[in-house]
Amino acid sequence: MPYLPEKYADLEQFCAEWALETSQERHLKRASSSMSELQAFYDAITPRAAEILTYLDTFPLDALPAAERRLLNLCLSLADVSLSVEKYRVPLLPDAPYSTKFRADTSALG
């Protein structure tokens, strides 16, 4: 079984760490990564993000095949990571240390 849609197989190296199911897990991963790890992930996905999302939009969101779902989860990690890379230039803002302790749940969004 392919882990990612074939066209994106080269992104497989990021899946173990970043294709996470929940917003909470993705945020914990962002918070515990170094800036260079975040940057590496960001640099790999961002140039292709628009294309990936356009591809994923050809499927109904509530019936994504497993490989496509993993690809979307990578993108959802990118959404969180991009805040560190594009806005703050640190993994977590030093004045906002408790976001990892919030109980967060975006699963109803699909």
Count of positions on this chain that bind other proteins (CB under 8 A):
44
Q: Tokens at residue 29, please?
A: 């991963």
Instruction: Kindly give, in sequence order, each residue whose CB lies less than 8 Å from that of residue 23, ignoring residues fewer than 6 positions away.
Output: 76, 80, 104, 105, 106, 107
Candidate segments 7-15, 33-41, 54-62, binder of other proteins by CB under 8 A: 54-62
Applying CB under 8 A, does 46 fall inside the site for other proteins?
yes
Amino acid at 52: I
Closest CA to 32 of 107, 3, 41, 10: 41
Least distance between other proteins and beta carbon 9 (Å): 19
Q: Which residues bind other proteins (CB under 8 A)?
A: 23, 27, 42, 46-47, 49-50, 53-54, 56-57, 59-61, 64, 68, 72, 75-76, 78-80, 82-83, 85-88, 92-93, 95-99, 101-106, 108-110
